[in-house]
Amino acid sequence: MSMLHTLAARRSIKADQLTLPAPAGETLADILQSAMSAPDHGGIKPWHFLVIEGDAREQLGDLFAKVLRDIKPDATIQEQAVARGKALRAPLVVAICARTKPHPKVPEIEQVLTVAMGAENILLAAQSLGYGAVLLTGGPAYHPIVKQGLGLGDGDHIVGFLHMGTAKEEPLRKERPNASDFTQSWPG
């Protein structure tokens, strides 16, 4: 399969459509290693991955419920259960984080973009090995309760929560927009 075909065929799998087995051990290490080939202006190496599996997913779910209670103090038990359940949909969750550092030539946004590009590499690597994955954010990804709960500092950003496992069924083909609709020549 050509690289262009691989890129065009990338699909996100809904987190609740992912089941065991999830990548583990050397396979997971290889998948995460793929992020290291993303462009990294200044060689800052801002990548930080938190592998969340097993009971740790329940603790992440507790953080999500705590965020809900923080922004909606009257959240019902059912709403809190839904928030908790978001961390339990897939057998493996990886918090994809950017650990930014002050740099005279590389602004913080470029460091976050480095990690985001690495996240796309991870999605492609997982799919190439037969795993399904989806990168999700949502309010908890940006909330200080979750950042603190995961041990992240002030210069750290959650780029997304990568949910991985094996797809329960083949994903539907997704119609993509034509790049020419978003392209123009600049006359200079």
% of the chain exceeding 70 in pLDDT = 99
What is the average per-residue pLDDT within 147-154?
A: 96
What is the average per-residue pLDDT within 45-60?
A: 98
Closest CA to 129 of 26, 23, 35, 13: 23
CB atoms within 10 A of CB 166: 17
Query: Is the bond into 39 cis (omega within 30 degrees of 0)?
Result: no
Give the tens place of pLDDT for each residue, 58-70: 999 999 999 999 9
CA separation for the pair 134, 22 (Å, rounded)? 13
pLDDT at 173 over 90: no
Q: What pLDDT score does 170 carry?
A: 87
pLDDT band at 1 (very low <50, low <70, confident <90, very high): low
What is the average per-residue pLDDT within 56-84?
A: 98
Give the tens place of pLDDT for each residue, 16-46: 999 999 999 999 999 999 999 999 999 999 9
Contacts 24+ apart (CB under 8 A), 171-180: 171/11, 171/12, 171/13, 171/132, 174/11, 176/8
Task: Delimit the domains of the chain by residue range.
Answer: 13-168
pLDDT at 10 over 70: yes
> Between β-strands 132-136 and 92-99, what pairing exists: parallel, antiparallel or unpaired?
unpaired
CB atoms within 10 A of CB 92: 23
DSSP one-letter code for 175: P
Across the chain, mean pLDDT equals 96
Question: In this predicted model, which residue has the larger pLDDT, 9 or 72?
Answer: 72
Question: In this predicted model, which residue has the larger pLDDT, 170 or 32?
Answer: 32
Give the tens place of pLDDT for each residue, 86-144: 999 999 999 999 999 999 999 999 999 999 999 999 999 999 999 999 999 999 999 99
CB atoms within 10 A of CB 127: 20
pLDDT band at 71 (very low <50, low <70, confident <90, very high): very high
| 180 CB-side CA count, 13 A | 0
DSSP one-letter code for 141: G
Question: In this predicted model, which residue has the larger pLDDT, 3 or 81?
Answer: 81
pTM: 0.94
CATH of domain 13-168: 3.40.109.10
Judged on CB neighbours under 10 Å (0-12, 13-18, 19+), 57 is buried
